[in-house]
Amino acid sequence: MNFCSSCGSAVSLTIPAGDDRERYVCVSCEAIHYTNPRVIVGCLPVYEGRVLLCRRAIEPRRNFWTLPAGFMENGETSAGGAARETWEEAEAKAIDLQLYRIFDVPHISQLYMFYRCGLEDGAFGAGPESLESALFDEADVPWDEIAFPVVYKALKEYFDDRRRGEYPVRVSSIERLKRPPA
Ligand SMILES: [Zn+2]
């Protein structure tokens, strides 16, 4: 952030009185501009035992497969956002949403929330951010072409849970990948 969204003056990074971390503070009107983590909401849609994945039409990770997910919008619930993303990316109506997986990704200040859900009438398509969508049995999932580690992990856990017949809600953190020593 370079300029105050209230008055247009420059901002500086300082610790406001009574606070414990740096914030962008306007040098003119003294408005404090807080930035907080972003929430990504998505679905793990299942129809007749198969999981719906979308092949990304956009960067990052174009051509790779993912679960429908995206940034939560103001004024919606997390489940509502997950269903909206499923409609936008896979033209599928998510039903019976159940919270399933939370990932904290603190080094990029993101929180992921995935809901298990059904698919109304088994219908789906491909929205503008997807090249195609498809239903996969476990053996047919393109495991080497999954776009993001959180999606890979959630899918693996889902198929394991299904074998056990229970779907506990899990919360864990994804840490920054360490560079190999030079
Ligand atoms: Zn200002």
Q: Do the Cβ atoms of 22 and 13 come closer than 8 Å?
A: yes
User: What is the pLDDT at residue 175?
Assistant: 85
**DSSP strands (E only) in 7-154:** 11-14, 23-26, 32-33, 38-47, 50-56, 65-66, 69-71, 94-105, 110-119, 130-136
H or E element in which residue 144 lies: none
Q: Kindly tell me the sign of the dihedral angle through the C-alpha atoms of 38, 150, 102, 94.
A: positive
Residues 6+ apart with CB under 8 A from 17: none
Residues 6+ apart with CB under 8 A from 145: 63, 64, 65
Count CA within 13 A, CB hemisphere, residue 171: 3
Please name each of the domains of the chain with its CATH number.
1-35 (2.20.70.10), 38-173 (3.90.79.10)
**11 CA distance to ligand 1 middle (Å):** 7
Best CA proximity match to 44, nearest among 53, 33, 32: 53
User: What is the pLDDT at residue 49?
Assistant: 96
**33 CA distance to ligand 1 middle (Å):** 9
Per-residue pLDDT 10s for the chain (182 aa) are 899 999 999 999 999 999 999 999 999 999 999 999 999 999 999 999 999 999 999 999 999 999 999 999 999 999 999 999 999 999 999 999 999 999 999 999 999 999 999 999 999 999 999 999 999 999 999 999 999 999 999 999 999 999 999 999 999 999 887 666 65
**31 CA distance to ligand 1 middle (Å):** 5
Q: What is the pTM of this model?
A: 0.90
**DSSP strands (E only) in 50-93:** 50-56, 65-66, 69-71
Q: Do the Cβ atoms of 67 and 56 come closer than 8 Å?
A: no
**15 CA distance to ligand 1 middle (Å):** 16
**25 CA distance to ligand 1 middle (Å):** 8
Residues 6+ apart with CB under 8 A from 151: 65, 66, 67, 69
